Amino acid sequence: MPTIVTPSQADTVLEVNRANAIKQAVSKVKAKKPLTKAEVELLQIIAYSAEQGGDPNITEVSTVVDLAAALGVSRRSIGNWRKMPDAPEPKSNGKHDVVAWRKFLHDHHLDGSSPGDEEGLKVRKLLAEVNEREFRLSVRKGEYIRKDMVREAWLSRCGRVVNLLRAKFEKEMPPQLVGLDAPSIQEALSAAIDAVLQELHEGKGDSLTP
């Protein structure tokens, strides 16, 4: 026969599992190991709940009254937010997804700025450390470029444009255009422009050329 688990036992198991997951995430951050997507989402849920003054253990409720209590807001606020086009819809069983609502409030900056509890503060610190570590890793991979490097490359490219245009249209082109009719001049000028664009596209000497 299948094992029958009472609601109380299920809550206890879920709480133990959640506590273990948080401990594991903290240990991985301290060891400078990357977190899984599920671990990051768990920390985000706790952080969102702490910011809103709600209970992070509540993930599903039956009524709007309970939803407002779980989120730490008023029923009137819930009523107004439900009119927004991307507000979370009730589940097929009629219950409200508290986790989805917490994320919705956070994404729309509706969660206020009230201070969270000690656990929430620790979680936000962990998330900040994770985000900073991922950013530094992206920089090492070359996914980001410093602003001064971009500025230097842009100024260098602009200087090359000016020099190329002057060389083409002040020195090379005038002797070539002498005696030509209008269509021939137009064709020669078009070819000169194409040559300048081609040279710029090849990006000779430019380290930031794609």
Asked if pLDDT for residue 114 goes beyond 50, the answer is: no
Task: Indicate if the alpha-carbon torsion angle 197, 198, 201, 205 is positive or negative.
Answer: negative
| Distance from C-alpha of 67 to C-alpha of 206, rounded to nearest angstrom | 57
| For residues 89-95, average pLDDT | 87
Q: Of 100-114, 160-174, 188-202, which gets the smallest average pLDDT?
A: 100-114
User: Residue 97 forms beta bridges with which residues?
Assistant: 60
- pLDDT tens, residue by residue, 16-30: 676 677 778 778 877
Short-list 15, 65, 62, CA closest to 42 = 15
Q: What is the pTM of this model?
A: 0.34
Burial class (CB in 10 A: 0-12, 13-18, 19+), 51: buried
For position 88, what pLDDT does the model report?
92
- pLDDT tens, residue by residue, 3-52: 666 656 665 666 667 667 777 877 887 777 787 777 776 676 666 555 55
Provide, rounded to the nearest whole percent, the portion of the chain with pLDDT above 90: 1
Burial class (CB in 10 A: 0-12, 13-18, 19+), 148: exposed
| For residues 139-165, average pLDDT | 80
User: What's 186's DSSP letter?
Assistant: H
| Distance from C-alpha of 158 to C-alpha of 165, rounded to nearest angstrom | 11
Higher pLDDT, 183 or 48: 183
